[in-house]
Amino acid sequence: MQRQDVVSGRTVPAALFIATVANFVLSGFLIGIAPRMSWLFATGLLIAAAIGIGICCIIEFASGDVPFATWFMVFALFLVATAGETAIEFMGIPHQLMGWVFAIFSAIFIVLAITMSKVNWQLFGALIVCVLATALLAAMGLSCATPESPIACASGWLFFIFGLCLFYEASAMLIISVFGRPVLPIGGPLFK
């Protein structure tokens, strides 16, 4: 699908919708809306989302859309790590290791945000929100904060906002592909 300077592959709306659901599951778990004992259900949903986004990644790599394919690959790995974090919480494994893993993902998301700024400024902004949320997860893990801490809640709300941004972007891309014209505005590149 193509509109002005914004180019996205065949699977981008699908992957963004899957990522939206994963972010809502993650935010519900971090904010405390989902009961703590639902970790198995949350882990299963996050793994399923990672598999779906991974399939979209493979399709995008095959079609030559490297920026989106890379983002999908990293986000799928992030969801696997997040699913691992929800399981680790109940197995009694120290959180410091996951804190470092999330710190690394935060740095990778910064690089992805910079690359997405050449594609779409709205996705750039969404990824900056994701960087902040992931950095808070890293801080939570490194400081051994409990899942009920304000850091977890703030991270959950940022993931919720990230999910809303992804939902809007996916909806706009889907509408463009169906109607052939933009109904919801999509941002162009931030940098040429």
pLDDT the model gives residue 163: 94
pLDDT the model gives residue 7: 45
- Evaluate whether residue 122 is within a structural domain: yes
Average pLDDT over residues 2-20: 72
Q: What's the pTM?
A: 0.86
- Evaluate whether residue 162 is within a structural domain: yes
Report residue 158: phi and psi, to 5°. Answer: -65, -40
Asked if the model's pLDDT at residue 6 lies above 60, the reply is no
pLDDT the model gives residue 183: 86
Average pLDDT over residues 115-140: 92
Nearest to 14 by CA among 182, 191, 179, 167: 167
- Evaluate whether residue 185 is within a structural domain: no
Domain that holds residue 156: 2-179
- Evaluate whether residue 132 is within a structural domain: yes
Greater pLDDT, 116 or 84: 116
Nearest to 77 by CA among 104, 111, 113, 114: 104
- Evaluate whether residue 107 is within a structural domain: yes
pLDDT the model gives residue 191: 78
- Which pLDDT band, with edges at 50, 70 and 90, does 93 fall under? low
- Evaluate whether residue 190 is within a structural domain: no
- Evaluate whether residue 184 is within a structural domain: no
Greater pLDDT, 113 or 31: 113
Q: What is the pLDDT of residues 42-67, one digit of tens each?
A: 888 889 999 999 999 999 999 888 88
Nearest to 187 by CA among 1, 2, 5: 5
Percent of the chain scoring above 70 in pLDDT: 89
- Evaluate whether residue 56 is within a structural domain: yes
Could you give the number of structural domains in the chain? 1
**What is the CATH classification number for the domain harbouring 171?**
1.25.40
